[in-house]
Amino acid sequence: MANNQDTTPAMAATAVEAYDPLRSMALAQNTGAAATERTREHPIVFFDGVCVLCNGFVDRVMRADHAGILRFAPLQGETARALLPPLGDDPMQWSVLYLDERGLHTRTDASLEILRRVGGTGSLFGLLRFIPRPIRDAVYGAVVRRRYRWFGERSTCRLPTPAERARFLP
């Protein structure tokens, strides 16, 4: 079942929230069948690798993903450059992106889909879908714009531990 609230990566980078099915299809064609199959088996969580808040979210999701299904890639990395259109120059516009078999999810939709996928108590956050998306995304955007100030910023992207290495993409 397609999610009508999916957006393309370029739109995510510019914080435009309208769904564009043609760009979504172009992304699917550009990533190829092999990439689509890989995201079906191992969806990818793209995150700001220098953001302390984002890394904390990744840590919590990894602990909740007992089956080890999800893969993680920094927005600054090779995988993001290969699978996503170029992001805007302003990291304050970046957010968590989630690429699965249904396409690319952005902003609150990405976070909620990730939590739904790992299940457990995190899936209870799915109740936030009852809050209108513009309101959810406005709050999300306010946190994104202030995340470095409130939570901090690393000077480099995180290095996965040896135990995490298989789940991280370059």
Mean pLDDT for the chain overall: 74
Q: Residue 37: what pLDDT? A: 54
In the chain, the amino acid numbered 32 is: G
At residue 98, the pLDDT reads: 92
Residue 49 corresponds to which amino acid?
Answer: G
Instruction: Give yes or no for a contact between 17 and 77, defined as CB atoms under 8 angstroms apart.
Output: no
Structure-model confidence comparison of residues 46 and 164, the more confident one: 46
Confidence band for 92, pLDDT divided at 50, 70 and 90? low
Distance CA 86, CA 145 (A): 19
Q: Pick 14 or 63 by higher pLDDT.
A: 63
Q: Is the pLDDT of residue 31 over 80?
A: no
Which residue, among 38, 23, 5, 14, has the nearest Cα to 129 in the 3D structure? 5
* Mean local confidence (pLDDT), 142-156: 81
And the tokens for 1?
């079942």
